[in-house]
Structure 1
Amino acid sequence: MPFHPVTPEKLSTAVTRQIEQLILRGILRPGERLPSERELSDRLQVSRPSLREAIADLSQRGLLTSRAGAGVYVADVLGSAFSDALIQLFANHDEAVFDYLSFRRDMEGLAADRAARLGSDTDLKVIATVFARMEAAHHKRNPEDEAALDAEFHLSIIEASHNVVMLHMMRSMYQLLREGVFYNRQIMFRQNITRTMLLDQHRAINDALQSRDGSAARQAVVDHLTYVETCLTQDRKAEAHEAVARQRYERTLAKG
């Protein structure tokens, strides 16, 4: 018969499983510091030896890392999603930028549709809260803050889709975007008209999600990323035209 005796679970195993789930679901994020040993053992209601055993196991498997005098952190495992050679290849070719946007359009459109249908009321409150911060940041005209909130908004939608594979895959993509591998997002916030358009597009996404209209949410994401693609295409053309204009100018000076 396919039955085995039921044995009590070790406390350290239960702690390990809980921390694993928090990392898997994106609640504990790469680089985030865990509470102190005393605080964590109190929260989990386990002994410190059991907690230490769990942390040692998770550290050995590369999910946690200890920093001398600073505590225990969630390991930054996102970098392992792409090899250094592939990251450099992305950075050197514009083709990767537009393939990246196409990929985002597909994935985030799907995530928005899922979030509208499957996200909890609290998921939608998180998205609405991030958008409210975007509106507040719009008046301060700080490109770094606006770019950071833009990423947080999109990732909150992916979190609300409740697909952990998509979550970690897209987090790794956003990590490269933050590092400027695909393009500098601050370019998008240079002109006031562009900034206002971007805010309006995020408002449309948020409104559709709050209404739980999956089709409208997906379309709003597609429209937004198509606009981003158009802006970047125009920026690339403007750079190319300026390079030609400088050559003509240098020739004019040489003839004078």
Structure 2
Amino acid sequence: MPFHPITPEKLSSAVVRQVEELILRGILQPGSRLPSERELAERLGVSRPSLRDAIVQLQERGLLSAKAGAGIFVANELSSAFSPALAALFARHDEAAIDYIAFRRDMEGLAAERAARLGSDTDLAVISEIFAKMQQGKANQTPEDDAALDAQFHMAIVEASHNVVMLHMMRSMYELLRSGVFYNRQIMFKQQTNRADLMDQHRAIHDALLARDAPGARAAVEGHLDYVERALLDHQRAERHEAVARQRLDHERDQS
């Protein structure tokens, strides 16, 4: 018969499972610090020895790391699915940036469609909160600030899709984007025309999500990333033209 005795679960195993679920769902993010041992034991309602046993197991699984004098952190290694060598290879070739945008178009279009259908009202409220911050556009807001809010907006949509594999893959992709591996996303926010266009595009995405218009949300995301691709190609072309112009200028100066 396919039955076996039921055994009580160790408290430490229950703690391990809870922390794993929080990491899997993207609630505990790479690099984030856990509360102190005393506070965490109180929150979980377990003894400190049970908590220590759980932390050791999670460290052995590569999910947590300890920093002397600083505490316990979610392992930074979880932030990227790409080896340093592969990330450096991406950075050396312009075509990787175009392929990256194509990948985002496919993945984020699907994520927006899923978020419109499957996201909870709270998920959509998070997206609205971030969009409201984008709209406020404080006078001293820099292109870096704009780019950070842009990333938060798009990640909130991925989170609202409730697909944990997509969540961690896209978080890895955004980490490479943040570090400038694919392109400097701040260039998108340096011209007022770009900023206005981008705001209109994000508004279209936001409004389709709140209306739970799945095809409309996907189309809005795809239209936005088509715009990003054109802007990036224009920027790459301008950089190539500038390099040629500098060669001409150097040549003219050599002739004088």
- The interval holding the TM-score normalised by the smaller chain is over 0.9
For the Cα contact (< 8 Å) 2:80–2:173, is it kept in 1? no
Structure 2 vs 1, CA of residues 178 and 118 (structure 1 numbering), >3 Å: closer, same or farther?
Answer: same
Q: Does 1:230 align with 2:217?
A: no
What is the 5 A alignment of 1:32-181? Answer: 32-78=32-78, 81-137=81-137, 139-181=139-181
User: How many residues in Structure 1 have an aligned counterpart in Structure 2?
Assistant: 256
Structure 2 vs 1, CA of residues 162 and 31 (structure 1 numbering), >3 Å: closer, same or farther?
Answer: same
User: What letter is aligned with 1:88?
Assistant: A
User: What letter is aligned with 1:250?
Assistant: D
1:8 positional shift: 1.1
Task: Please give the secondary structure, in 2, of the residue aligned with 1:62.
Answer: coil
1:250 positional shift: 2.7
Alpha-carbon distance in structure 2 between the residues aligned to 1:198 and 1:12: 48
Q: Which residue of 2 aligns with 1:208?
A: 208
User: What letter is aligned with 1:56?
Assistant: V
For the Cα contact (< 8 Å) 1:78–1:175, is it kept in 2? no
Alpha-carbon distance in structure 2 between the residues aligned to 1:254 and 1:86: 40
For the Cα contact (< 8 Å) 1:137–1:145, is it kept in 2? no
Q: Deviations over 1:32-70 (max 9, x none)?
A: 011111111111111111111111100111100111111
Task: Please give the secondary structure, in 2, of the residue aligned with 1:81.
Answer: coil
Aligned-residue RMSD, C-alpha? 1.2
Task: Please give the secondary structure, in 2, of the residue aligned with 1:77.
Answer: helix
Task: Please give the secondary structure, in 1, of the residue aligned with 2:188.
Answer: helix
Percent identity between the two aligned chains: 67
User: What letter is aligned with 1:74?
Assistant: V
For the Cα contact (< 8 Å) 1:78–1:171, is it kept in 2? no
Q: Which residue of 2 aligns with 1:249?
A: 249
Alpha-carbon distance in structure 2 between the residues aligned to 1:198 and 1:91: 25
User: What TM-score results when the alignment is normalised by the length of structure 2?
Assistant: 0.96
Alpha-carbon distance in structure 2 between the residues aligned to 1:204 and 1:80: 30
Task: Please give the secondary structure, in 2, of the residue aligned with 1:5.
Answer: coil
Runs of 5+ unmatched residues, structure 1: none
User: What letter is aligned with 2:88?
Assistant: Q
1:79 positional shift: 5.3
1:137 positional shift: 3.3
1:80 positional shift: 5.1
Alpha-carbon distance in structure 1 between the residues aligned to 2:203 and 2:140: 18
Alpha-carbon distance in structure 1 between the residues aligned to 2:78 and 2:42: 30
For the Cα contact (< 8 Å) 2:115–2:209, is it kept in 1? yes
Alpha-carbon distance in structure 2 between the residues aligned to 1:152 and 1:79: 15
User: What letter is aligned with 1:233?
Assistant: L
For the Cα contact (< 8 Å) 2:124–2:209, is it kept in 1? yes
Comparing 110-119 and 128-137, the one that deviates more: 128-137
Q: Which residue of 1 aligns with 2:24?
A: 24
Runs of 5+ unmatched residues, structure 2: none
Task: Please give the secondary structure, in 1, of the residue aligned with 2:137.
Answer: helix
Alpha-carbon distance in structure 2 between the residues aligned to 1:47 and 1:26: 26
Comparing 88-97 and 245-254, the one that deviates more: 245-254
User: What TM-score results when the alignment is normalised by the length of structure 1?
Assistant: 0.96
User: What letter is aligned with 2:31?
Assistant: G
1:242 positional shift: 1.5
User: What letter is aligned with 1:57?
Assistant: Q
